[in-house]
């Protein structure tokens, strides 16, 4: 899957989970930049990402996700 396609699908997940269709993803974006991004919505988002891309994260991988860019990279790696 192309990176642009990943970002497109991920954007849809973010819009749904965080209830905000104006979110524009960027590599540097963190939980601090999204109003509703806390433990609960993070969990919902991760579950949705796993469903959407048909992948499964390890806790160690989630641990390293500091920015949205890390998430995109991890999805990309796992899809290869």
Partner 1 sequence: MFYKNILTPILRSIEQFPSRNAFCIDEEHYTYAQLSQCISKVRIALLQCNYQNTKVGLVINDDLETYASIIALWMEGDCYVPLHPNWPLERCLDICEQVELDLILDSSPESRYGGGTFLLKTNELEYTVDCLEPIQGVSDEELAYILFTSGSTGKPKGVMMMRKNVAAFMDSFWQTGITITEEDRCLQCFDLTFDVSVQGYLVPLTKGACCYTVPHGQIKYIYASSLIEDHQLTFGAMAPSMLRYLKPYFEEIDATSLKSCILTAEACPLNLMEDWYKCATNVELYDFYGPTECTVYCTYYKLTKGGENKTLNGIISIGKPLANCVGLILDEKGNECAVGEKGELCIAGDQVTKGYWKNEEKNASSFFYKEVDGKNLRFYHTGDLCYKDEDGDIMYSGRLDHQAKIQGFRVEMGEIEWHAREFLGDTNVVCMAFENKDALTEIAMFMETEEFNPEEMIAYMRTKMPSYMIPTRLYYVPVFPLNANDKTDKVKLKAMIEL
Place of tokens 């796993």: 50
Q: Does 24 bind partner 1 (CB under 8 A)?
A: no
Q: Is 1 in the site for partner 1 (CB under 8 A)?
A: no
Binding mask 34-73 for partner 1 (x = CB under 8 A): -xxxxxxxxxx--x----------xxx-xx----------
Smallest CA-to-CA distance from 56 within 75, 76, 29 is with: 75
Residue 37: how many CB atoms within 10 A of its CB?
A: 18
Told to check if 30 binds partner 1 by CB under 8 A, we report yes
Asked if 22 interacts with partner 1 (CB under 8 A), we say yes
Q: Is 48 helix (H, G, I), strand (E, B) or coil?
A: helix
């Amino acid at each position: 899957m192309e990176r642009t396609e990943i970002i497109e699908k991920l954007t849809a997940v973010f819009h749904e989970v965080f209830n905000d269709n104006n979110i524009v993803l960027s590599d540097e974006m963190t939980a601090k930049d999204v109003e509703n991004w806390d433990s609960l919505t993070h969990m919902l988002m991760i579950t949705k990402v796993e469903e959407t891309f048909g992948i499964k994260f390890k806790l160690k991988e989630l641990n390293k996700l500091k920015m949205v860019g890390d998430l995109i990279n991890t999805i990309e790696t796992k899809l290869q």
